[in-house]
Amino acid sequence: MRAQGILGGTFDPVHLGHIQSARELCERVGLERLSLMPCHMPPHRDRPQTAATHRLAMAKIAVAPWSTLGVDGRELEREGPSYTVESLAALRAEVGPQTSLIFVMGSDAFNSLHRWHRWQSLFEYANILVMQREGYPLLPAADVAKYVAGREQRAQALVEQTAGAYATIALTPWPQSATDVRARLAAGRSLDDCVPPEIEHYIQQHNLYRD
């Protein structure tokens, strides 16, 4: 069975932690391909600081060296809030019923899943894999915990099921976040250990994150 992953986020900006996590997910879970899916207007967090065109361009630059990684820009093409369930429904129609589709989210996002638009329907189109983020223990709402209890499997078993399953995975921790990267940029500090050099060059070229 083919297995594809989707890693959602604002990627504002994309950094080495995103790439490290994406590559580790492909290797450990057995994904043929994992695509970063930048969000246009997240319903449950602040709007991204940087325009969609720049975030999309940086994501494409960051994944270019890795054949297993890609970028899905569909949410940046839609107006209004970016509802994951709509994106997964469209992806399922494209890949067909026989592909394992795995949507990856952090434990911080999973803890607020009960506030997502049609959150139960996510499982109709994909499996859900939760990355356990340091500082964000798994504390889902009671109705979410009850809903996923009978769906839990090992992360590596998700590739054997097209949709409907749930798993968690602990990845190699990454010390910086996009918030840290933006703070460094605002302070004029180096990004050598945070982002690929091509991304730092793009940010400087377009004078991003300076305000």
| Structural domains of the chain sorted by starting position, each given as residue range(s) with its CATH number in brackets | 3-174 (3.40.50.620)
Q: Would you place residue 160 in the very low, low, confident or very high pLDDT band (cuts 50, 70, 90)?
A: very high
Examine the pLDDT at 38 and tell me if it is beyond 70: yes
**Percentage of residues of the chain with pLDDT beyond 70:** 97
Cβ atoms 69, 81 nearer than 8 A: no
Per-residue pLDDT band at 46 (split at 50, 70, 90): low
CA distance 127 to 201: 36
- Determine the average pLDDT of the residues in 167-177: 89
Class of residue 188 by CB neighbours under 10 A (exposed 0-12, middle 13-18, buried 19+): exposed
DSSP state of 194: T
pLDDT at 41 over 80: no
Q: Is 170 left (phi over 0), alpha (psi -120 to 50) or beta?
A: beta
* Band of pLDDT at residue 133, cut at 50, 70 and 90: confident
Helix, strand, coil shares, percent, the chain, to 5? 40, 15, 40
7, 35 in Cβ contact below 8 A?
Answer: yes
